[in-house]
Chain A
Amino acid sequence: MAVEAPAIPPASSDGRSHVRRVLSIWAVLSVVFVALTFLVVPLVERKPASSVAGFASLTDLVFTAVAVPVSLFVWVFVFYSVFAFREKSPASGKVEDLEDGPPLQAKPGQQIAWLAVTTALAFFTVGWGMFGFYKETTKSAASALVVNVTGQEWTWTYAYPKLGVQSHVLELPLGKPVQFRVTSDDVLHGFGLAALGIAMDANPGEWVATPVVTPDKAGTFEVRCIELCGLYHTFMSSQVRVVPPSSFAAWIKASGGNSSVLTSPGGGAQKPAPAGDELEEIT
C-alpha cells in the first residue's frame, strides 16, 4: 500500500517562526522563574548554622537557578508542540487516513550542540561540588574539638573525651570547630545533623570521622537518625544546643567534666582526622 511521498514543508518561514516563538517564550519564562527562584528558595530553606550548611544552601540556590531554564527549555518545546501541532483524529475514523508529519531528522549540528551543552552543565555541577567538597575536607580547620557519637537502639550518646563528659544532649560552643567521630553499639544508624550540614552513618565496629564543622549560629537544633534502625527509629533524635563558649564551659563543669582544659593552650582541641577516616581507637 504505497502512499505518495508528501512534500516536506521547507524549513523556512513557517518552521523558523515557530522556533522564534518558542525561544522567546522560553526566554521570558526563564527570566521570570529564575527571579522567583532567588526570592523563594531562601524563604523555603532552613537557615544554615555553619559554613558547611551555608555552602549547601548556596548550592541549592545555584543549581535551581540553572535547572529552571534547562527544564523550561524541554517543557516549553513540549507544551508548545502539543498546542501548535495538535490534530484531531480523521473524520473517517480510519488509521489509513492519518496524515504523516515531515520526516525530520536530527542534524549533526543540533546533536553536537545538545551534547556540548549537557556535558558542560554536568561538568559545571561536578566542578561546583568538587569545590565544596575540597573546602569541607582538605581546607578545614587545623584543630577541632572532638565529640564521640555513639548510636544505639534507640538513642544517641555524646562523649567529650578530652573533657570527661558524657551526655544525651549535644552541647556545642559557638564559633569553635568541632569534629564528630561516629559509631554504633548494635545496628546501622545515621547521625544526621542537617542544620550544620553534617551526616555520617554509625557503623558497628567502626569509628568514622565527619568533616570538621564550625557552628556559627547560636540556637537549638536537632539530631535525627537517618538510617532505618528498627522499631523506634522514628523517635531516635536528640537536642543540639549551640551556646557561647562561656556557657559551654559552665555546662562542662556542671556535668562533672574538666572545664579547665578549655582554657588551657589548645583549648581541648586536637588535630582532626581526615573526614571519612575509619579510626581504630578513640584518642
Chain B
Amino acid sequence: MSTVADTHSEVTPPARRRRVLIPSILSGLVLGLVAAIVAGVVVHSLISGARQADDTMVSAYLAWFIFFLVGIGAWNFPIKWGLGRPDTTHEQELELAGKDEGVWRYFRFCTDHKVVGIQYLVTVLVLFLVGGAASWMIRLEQARTGAKVFTPATYNTLVGMHGLIMIATTIIMLSAVIGNYMVPIMIGANDMAFPRLNALSYWMLFTAIPILLSAVVLGGFPTGWTGYAPLADQAAVGMDAYCMTIVIFAMSIALGGINMVTTVVTMRAPGMTWGRLPTSVWGITLSTLLGLIVFPAFMTAVVLSLLDRTVGTSFYEASLGGNNWLYEQLFWFMGHPEVYVILLPALGAVCDVVPVFARKPLFAYKLVVGGEIGIVVLSMAVWMHHLYWSGANLPLDLPTMLSTEAISIPTGLIFFALIGTLWRGRIRLEPPMLFALAFIFNFLIGGVTGLYLADVPTDAIFHSNMFTLAHFHFTLVGGTVFGFLAAFYYWFPKMTGRQLDPWLSRLHFWLFEIGFLGVFIPLFLAGIRGEPRWQADISPSVATENLISSLFAILIVASVAVLAYNILSSWISGKRAEVNQWGGRTLEWTLPSPVPLVNFPHPVLVTEGPYDFGSGGSRVMGRPTLAGAAVDAATFAAPAPHEGYRARQVRYATFLLILSDAVFVLAVYLAFVYLHALNTQGQFKPSAESTPSMLGIVLVTAASVLAACAYSWGQRGLRTGDSRRVCTGLTLAWAISIAALVGDVLTFGGLGYSVPLHAYGSFMALFVVYHAVRHLLIGVLVGALVLGRLYSGRLAGRDYVIQATGYWFWWVAITAVVMTVLIATVK
C-alpha cells in the first residue's frame, strides 16, 4: 500500500473476522461486577464496626478493578509469557491490533495505538458531556438566590463531580487522544513502545469511571474535587469512590507517561531530531513526564486518606498527631504542576495549528520549546501559592510569590511566538484556527488575572473567591479546552476519514466562545463583590451577576448540542476527508485518512522541519524510503540500526517507573519528617497500644535486602553463562520476597484493628502496607512471570528483562532500609 495515497482513501471492505466475545468488554463487565459483589459481601460479613461500609466498598472497588481487567483479557499476554509460550508471531500481533476486524475492535483489548486513541476520544467526549452537565446544574442552582433546585449536600457533590471529571478529562484530552493516535505517526513510528501497556492504560481508566459515578448513589462526597482532609476522613462512603478513582487514575497516568516518553525518546524516525519535533509532540511528552513525576504525590495524599478511613490510621487527625497541612502540601505539590500537565499539550497543539493556517514557520520554535521546559521546571516550585493562607508557611510566601510570578516569563514566550507567526502570514480562518486564536485571547485573560492571585496582598481577598474560579476557568476552559478543540477539528479528518461540516463547526465556535465569555466575566465581578466559592445558595448582592452568567450558559449548552450533532452526522455520513485536509507539513498528512493498520509499511526519512513554510523545498517534512525494510513483529517499528533496541526501551521504562515510585516514596519520607516537625509537643512517638511491631519491620526489611542480594548473585551467572546459578539465585530471591510478604501481613495483622492508630504508628502501618502491596507484590508477580519464562528456556538473549527486574528488587530493598532507619531514629 503506498503511503502517499490518492486524494480519497478507497475502502474495499476486507473479509471480517468473527467477533470474539470472550475476552471483550462484555466478559470484563460481567466478571468485574460479579467479583465486586462477591468481595463486598465477603468483607461485609467479616468486618463489623464503624469502618464496615468503607472496607466493604473499597474491597468491592478493588475486586471490580482487578477482575474487569481479567475479563477483558488484559493479563492474558503476561500470563502466557510467564508460562513460557512461544513469542507471538507477526500475524498474531496484527490480529491483536485488530486487522480486518470491524468496529468491535474498539470494544476489546486492542493494541493498535490508533484504536486506543479513538477509545480515549470517545471516552473524553462522553466525560466532557457528563462533567458539563454537572456544571449546567451548578449554573441552574446559582441563577437565583435560595437553595431552590438542589440541597446543599447534592450541590457539594455536583461541584466535586464536576471538578474531578473535568480535571481528569482535561489531563487526558490531548495526551491520551492525540498522544496515542498521532504522536507515533508524527514521529514516524508504527506504534507506541509498549502497545499492550497502552491498551492497559486505557482500560484502567475505564474501570475508574463507574467507580467515580457510584459516588453519586452512595451519598456523594462533600469535599469538592480537592478531597481535603480531615473533612475527607469524616465523609460518608462516597468518599471512598473518590479515593479509589484517584488511585486508579494515577496508575493509568504513570503507565501512559512511561509509554509516551519511552516512545518519543527511542522511536523517532531517522532525521527526526529533537529540533524537528512538532510542538504537539513536545507538549505531550513534557506533559506526560511531568504527570508521572507529580501524580504520585496526590496518590500518597489519597492513600493516606483511604488508610485513615479504612484502617484507622490518623495521618490527618489532629488529636492523634496528624495534621491537615500534610494533605495540603502533598495535594498541591501535584495540584499546581497538574494544571501545566493540562496546559502543555494544548500549547503544543496551538503552536502546531497556527503555522499551518498562517502558512508561516513557527516564530521562535526554540523559545517555545525552551518556554515549555521552563514551565515544567518552575511549576514544581510554585505550589505553595495555594497555601498562602493555610497557616502552614507564611515565611515561604515571598519566595513562592517570586517563582509564581516568574512562571509568566516562559509562558509569555509562547505568546511571542504566536504573535510572530501570525504577523504577515497568509491567514485562513478555518475552524481549527478560530479555536487557536480564541486560545490566545482567552488564555491571556486567564494568565493576567493570575497575577492578582499570585500577589500575596490581593490574594487575601481573592483566595477561594469567585475571582479565583473565573481565573482558572479562563485558563483551563478558555485556554486548554479551546486548544483541545483546535486540535480536534484539525485532526478529526485524519482520524476518522470524514470532514466535519464547516458551517456547524463555525456555529459551535461562536456559540461556545460567546457563551464562555458571558458565563465567566460576570463571575469575575461576582468575586470582586465578595462571593466566595462553593455557594449552594448565592447571596442577593451577587444575584445579577450570577443570573447573567447562568443565562449565557444556555449558549454553551447549545454549542455542545451543535458539536454533538456535527460529530455524529459527520462520523457516520460526512464528506470523505482529503489526505492533506489543511496543507500541513507533518508526517501524518502523507498518510490516508483514516490511517490504516500499518502506518508506515516502509521506514520514513525526515529531511526538513515541520514548519518550513515559504522556504521552497517539499510540501511535507519527510518521505518514505524506497527500500522496504522488515518490520519488527513485536513492536511494528522498523528496527533501529543498532543492537539492544528493545533493551534500551525496557531500561528507559524501568527507570521511569522507579522515578514515579520514587516520588511516592519520597512523599512518604517527607510526610514522616513533616509530621514530626509539626508535633512540637512530643505527640509524635510510638505508643505502647497502637504500634506495629518494630521487630517485624526490621525483619521484612532485612528479607528484602537478602532477596536483592540473592538476585544479584544469580544475575552474575548471566556473564559466565551459568544458567543454573541464574535459576537458583532468582528463585531464591523470589522465595525470600514471598516470605517478606507474609511477614508484612503478620506485622500488619498484629496492629489491633479496632484501635485508632496514633500518627507515628500510622507510618509504620503505611510502611507495611506499601512495602507489601506495591513493592513486594510487583516483585513477586513479575518475578513469577520472569522465573516461568526463564525455566521454559525462552528468556535466552533477553538479559535486559532479568536486569530490569533486578533494578526493582534493589529499589525495594533500598527504600525499605531508608524507611526503617527513619522510623527507628526520628522520634
- A118 CB contacts on chain B under 8 angstroms: 408-409, 412-413
Are A81 and B360 in contact (CB-based, < 8 A)? no
- A230 CB contacts on chain B under 8 angstroms: 156, 222, 231, 234-235
Q: Tell me the B511-537 residues at the A interface (CB within 8 Å).
A: 525, 528-530, 532-537
| Bound-state Cα–Cα, A1 to B4, Å | 12
Counting chain A CB atoms within 10 Å of each CB, which of B224, B437, B534 scores highest? B534
Are A278 and B391 in contact (CB-based, < 8 A)? yes
Given contacts A133-B397, A201-B391, are A101 and B359 in contact (CB under 8 A)? Answer: yes
A75 part of interface (Cβ distance < 8 Å): yes
Are A226 and B613 in contact (CB-based, < 8 A)? no
12 A-B pairs with CB atoms under 8 Å apart are: A5-B617, A63-B451, A67-B451, A71-B444, A74-B419, A81-B424, A89-B428, A104-B423, A110-B420, A125-B454, A203-B323, A226-B532
Are A231 and B153 in contact (CB-based, < 8 A)? yes
Shortest CB-to-CB span from B539 to chain A, Å, is: 9
Please tell me which one of the listed residues A106, A129, A206 contacts residue B367 in the complex, with CB atoms under 8 A apart: A106
Are A111 and B528 in contact (CB-based, < 8 A)? no
Are A128 and B455 in contact (CB-based, < 8 A)? yes
Please tell me which one of the listed residues B359, B398, B440, B465 contacts residue A98 in the complex, with CB atoms under 8 A apart: B359
Are B427 and A206 in contact (CB-based, < 8 A)? no
CB-nearest residue of chain A relative to B223?
A228
Please tell me which one of the listed residues A74, A197, A204 contacts residue B461 in the complex, with CB atoms under 8 A apart: A197
Segment of A48-56, A158-166, A245-253 engaged in the interface with chain B: A48-56
Are A192 and B458 in contact (CB-based, < 8 A)? no
| Bound-state Cα–Cα, A188 to B318, Å | 11
B578 part of interface (Cβ distance < 8 Å): yes
Are A199 and B461 in contact (CB-based, < 8 A)? yes
| Bound-state Cα–Cα, A278 to B717, Å | 58
Given contacts A44-B528, A224-B530, are A86 and B324 in contact (CB under 8 A)? Answer: no
| Bound-state Cα–Cα, A257 to B416, Å | 63
| Bound-state Cα–Cα, A119 to B411, Å | 11
Shortest CB-to-CB span from B769 to chain A, Å, is: 25
Given contacts A78-B437, A122-B408, A233-B156, are A200 and B231 in contact (CB under 8 A)? Answer: no
Please tell me which one of the listed residues A74, A104, A121, A187 contacts residue B360 in the complex, with CB atoms under 8 A apart: A104
Interface size, A (range): 35 or more
- A199 CB contacts on chain B under 8 angstroms: 389, 459-461, 463-464
| Bound-state Cα–Cα, A59 to B452, Å | 8
| Bound-state Cα–Cα, A279 to B401, Å | 24
- A119 CB contacts on chain B under 8 angstroms: 409
Are B391 and A203 in contact (CB-based, < 8 A)? yes
- B417 CB contacts on chain A under 8 angstroms: 106
B822 part of interface (Cβ distance < 8 Å): no
B752 part of interface (Cβ distance < 8 Å): no
A208 part of interface (Cβ distance < 8 Å): yes
> Closest 9 A-B residue pairs measured CB to CB?
A276-B394, A205-B318, A5-B616, A208-B391, A95-B583, A100-B614, A106-B364, A132-B457, A103-B614
Shortest CB-to-CB span from B511 to chain A, Å, is: 20
| Bound-state Cα–Cα, A194 to B459, Å | 10
- Interface mask (B481-495 → A, CB under 8 Å = 1, otherwise 0): 000000000000000
Given contacts A46-B529, A103-B360, are A228 and B228 in contact (CB under 8 A)? Answer: yes
B581 part of interface (Cβ distance < 8 Å): yes
B618 part of interface (Cβ distance < 8 Å): yes
- B393 CB contacts on chain A under 8 angstroms: 276
Are A103 and B615 in contact (CB-based, < 8 A)? yes
| Bound-state Cα–Cα, A114 to B530, Å | 36
Are A105 and B363 in contact (CB-based, < 8 A)? yes
| Bound-state Cα–Cα, A206 to B156, Å | 26
- A81 CB contacts on chain B under 8 angstroms: 358, 419, 422-425, 427
Are A6 and B614 in contact (CB-based, < 8 A)? yes
Given contacts A136-B457, A205-B323, are A103 and B361 in contact (CB under 8 A)? Answer: yes
- B582 CB contacts on chain A under 8 angstroms: 95
Are A100 and B619 in contact (CB-based, < 8 A)? no
- A274 CB contacts on chain B under 8 angstroms: 394
Please tell me which one of the listed residues A5, A18, A123 contacts residue B424 in the complex, with CB atoms under 8 A apart: A18
- Interface mask (A12-33 → B, CB under 8 Å = 1, otherwise 0): 0001001000000000000000
CB-nearest residue of chain A relative to B415?
A74
CB-nearest residue of chain A relative to B391?
A208
Counting chain A CB atoms within 10 Å of each CB, which of B416, B423, B441, B456 scores highest? B423
| Bound-state Cα–Cα, A201 to B389, Å | 6
Given contacts A224-B530, A224-B532, are A59 and B444 in contact (CB under 8 A)? Answer: no
| Bound-state Cα–Cα, A276 to B456, Å | 13
Q: Tell me the A67-93 residues at the B interface (CB within 8 Å).
A: 67, 70-71, 74-75, 77-78, 81-82, 85-89
B319 part of interface (Cβ distance < 8 Å): yes
| Bound-state Cα–Cα, A104 to B365, Å | 12
- B153 CB contacts on chain A under 8 angstroms: 231
A240 part of interface (Cβ distance < 8 Å): no
Are B457 and A56 in contact (CB-based, < 8 A)? yes
| Bound-state Cα–Cα, A90 to B153, Å | 57
| Bound-state Cα–Cα, A46 to B527, Å | 11
CB-nearest residue of chain A relative to B578?
A95
Shortest CB-to-CB span from A205 to chain B, Å, is: 3
Counting chain B CB atoms within 10 Å of each CB, which of A96, A199, A228, A234 scores highest? A228
Shortest CB-to-CB span from B194 to chain A, Å, is: 35
Interface of chain A: mostly helix, strand, loop or mixed: mixed
Are A276 and B409 in contact (CB-based, < 8 A)? no
| Bound-state Cα–Cα, A111 to B413, Å | 9
A282 part of interface (Cβ distance < 8 Å): no
- B464 CB contacts on chain A under 8 angstroms: 190, 192, 199, 226-227
- B359 CB contacts on chain A under 8 angstroms: 98-101
CB-nearest residue of chain A relative to B327?
A188
| Bound-state Cα–Cα, A15 to B424, Å | 8
Shortest CB-to-CB span from A213 to chain B, Å, is: 10
| Bound-state Cα–Cα, A103 to B464, Å | 46
Given contacts A55-B457, A122-B405, are A103 and B612 in contact (CB under 8 A)? Answer: yes
B12 part of interface (Cβ distance < 8 Å): no
Are A200 and B424 in contact (CB-based, < 8 A)? no
A65 part of interface (Cβ distance < 8 Å): no
Please tell me which one of the listed residues B423, B427, B448, B583 contacts residue A71 in the complex, with CB atoms under 8 A apart: B448
CB-nearest residue of chain A relative to B611?
A103
B390 part of interface (Cβ distance < 8 Å): yes
Are A105 and B364 in contact (CB-based, < 8 A)? yes
Q: Tell me the B597-646 residues at the A interface (CB within 8 Å).
A: 612-619
| Bound-state Cα–Cα, A234 to B159, Å | 13
Given contacts A125-B451, A192-B464, A201-B389, are A100 and B426 in contact (CB under 8 A)? Answer: yes
Are A129 and B361 in contact (CB-based, < 8 A)? no
- Interface mask (B225-262 → A, CB under 8 Å = 1, otherwise 0): 01011110011000000000000000000000000000
Shortest CB-to-CB span from A273 to chain B, Å, is: 11
Are B318 and A234 in contact (CB-based, < 8 A)? no
Are B463 and A226 in contact (CB-based, < 8 A)? yes
B825 part of interface (Cβ distance < 8 Å): no
CB-nearest residue of chain A relative to B422?
A81
Are A63 and B583 in contact (CB-based, < 8 A)? no
Are A60 and B360 in contact (CB-based, < 8 A)? no
B760 part of interface (Cβ distance < 8 Å): no
- A111 CB contacts on chain B under 8 angstroms: 364, 367, 416
- Interface mask (B425-445 → A, CB under 8 Å = 1, otherwise 0): 111110000000100110011
| Bound-state Cα–Cα, A124 to B418, Å | 25
Are A201 and B390 in contact (CB-based, < 8 A)? yes
Q: Tell me the B534-548 residues at the A interface (CB within 8 Å).
A: 534-537
CB-nearest residue of chain B relative to A154?
B152
Given contacts A106-B363, A118-B409, A122-B408, are A225 and B532 in contact (CB under 8 A)? Answer: yes
- A1 CB contacts on chain B under 8 angstroms: 618-619
Are A231 and B152 in contact (CB-based, < 8 A)? yes
B406 part of interface (Cβ distance < 8 Å): yes
A262 part of interface (Cβ distance < 8 Å): no
Shortest CB-to-CB span from B3 to chain A, Å, is: 14
- A6 CB contacts on chain B under 8 angstroms: 614, 616
- A186 CB contacts on chain B under 8 angstroms: 230, 234
- Interface mask (A270-283 → B, CB under 8 Å = 1, otherwise 0): 00001111101000
